Structure 1
């Protein structure tokens, strides 16, 4: 069992970086989705105001 620990310790930084990469990409995609939704709502509101004017 003691022969495995150096390999596990060597893989921990890579796993950590992979996890951080996943979190960053997930938040970027979610932020983009929310921004597109907000922009489409704003455009709909602007079109509605233009029709009422």
Structure 2
């Protein structure tokens, strides 16, 4: 995954507005724990696509 650090400073979790941290091929929310996929270096920040925390 190759995301611009400036992009990571701007985007937030659509569910709770917390920061997102890259982990494997996902962006994981520091607040609610949702994990959003990154496909072809594009974050998919859709609640329907999010993996819920375990």
**TM-score between the two structures when normalised by the length of structure 1:** 0.20
Higher helix share: 1
| Larger CA Rg, structure 1 vs 2 | 1
Determine which structure has greater relative contact order: mean sequence separation of CA pairs < 8 Å that are 6+ residues apart, divided by chain length.
2
Higher strand share: 2
